[in-house]
Amino acid sequence: MTGLLEVQNITRSFGGLVAVNDVSFTLQPGRIAALIGPNGAGKTTCFNLVAGALKPTSGKVLFEGRSIERTPPERVCRMGIARTFQIVRPMRDMSVLENAMVGAFSWTKSVSEARLTAHQSLESVGLAGKAEARIDQLTLPDRKMLETAKALSTRPKLLLLDEVMAGLRPTEAAAVVHVLQKLAEGGLTILLVEHVMRIVMEVASKVIVLHHGAKIAEGRPHDVVNDPRVLESYLGTGFHA
């Protein structure tokens, strides 16, 4: 079945280091998938290849059937792929609303359009009531959600989230899960890097596992976490789904 995103045998080498090795997967519209694996497995490099920040050494990336692996990242964004970063860096001299507006300027020069879209994005992540707040007034979960709102303001069809739950308490992570589920219900496709397996099991319909740059498993969460290769290389033999 043709997917919204099709990653076909992508490899990325840095000199003698193969960071991503012959990885393939497909994402269907309106679903949440998780990309997991130990540190150094190639997850962020894979994100960068999809988002256009890196070009593959070999292989193809298709978005809505179009080859994008040689497309500049700003054009990839305008085509409908947005990403967040694990370390959030909001613009501290701007309000929450102004930060969220930045994403909208990827597709419009109209300040009023950008403001309206930013308000909608903040509403989607639960920050509408803090639109005029200063960045130093935000909690860590708020800053994480602001990063997501900036990405949403680009009007993506595919959202790449790099460890959006990192550093959050269980109740805070649960609130983020609810936001992601609502976004997917609205038709947005999401691919997230996540280390907390409880969250992966709850939110993802498909899990892709990388180890030393190669894909070692792909499938439904319950099947993947019981895969002997995943248990041996990542979760440990003591893990129970």
Kindly report, residue by residue over 172-215, the tens digit of the pLDDT: 999 999 999 999 999 999 999 988 888 888 999 999 999 999 99
Q: Are 117 and 155 in contact (CB under 8 A)?
A: yes
Residue 147 falls inside a structural domain: no
**Residue 1 confidence class, pLDDT cut points 50, 70, 90:** low
On whether the CB atoms of residues 40 and 18 are closer than 8 A, the answer is no
Task: Say whether pLDDT at 234 is over 80.
Answer: no
With respect to residue 49, please indicate whether it lies within any of the assigned structural domains: yes
pLDDT digits (tens, 9 = 90+) for 58-99: 999 999 999 999 999 999 999 999 999 888 888 888 999 999
Q: What's the pTM value of the predicted model, to 2 decimals?
A: 0.92
Is 124 a domain residue?
no
**Structure-block tokens of residue 92:** 């501290």
For 144-179, the pLDDT digits (tens) are 999 999 999 999 999 999 988 888 899 999 999 999
Within a domain: 172: no
Please give the Cα distance from 37 to 151 (Å, whole number): 24
Distance CA 94, CA 114 (A): 15
CATH code for position 63: 3.40.50.300
> Is 43 a domain residue?
yes
Q: Cα–Cα distance between 88 and 161 in angstroms, integer?
A: 12
Residue-level pLDDT at 235: 64
Quick one: pLDDT band at residue 239, thresholds 50, 70, 90? low
**Domain extent at residue 62:** 1-72+197-241
**What pLDDT, on a 0 to 100 scale, did the predictor assign at position 43?**
93
pLDDT over 60 (residue 237): no
Q: How many domains does the chain have?
A: 1
Q: Within a domain: residue 215?
A: yes
Q: What is the pLDDT of residues 16-58, one digit of tens each?
A: 899 999 999 999 999 999 999 988 899 999 999 999 999 999 9
Residue 123 clears pLDDT 90, i.e. is over it: yes
Q: Measured between alpha carbons, how far is 160 from 32 in angstroms, rounded to an integer?
A: 10
- With respect to residue 6, please indicate whether it lies within any of the assigned structural domains: yes
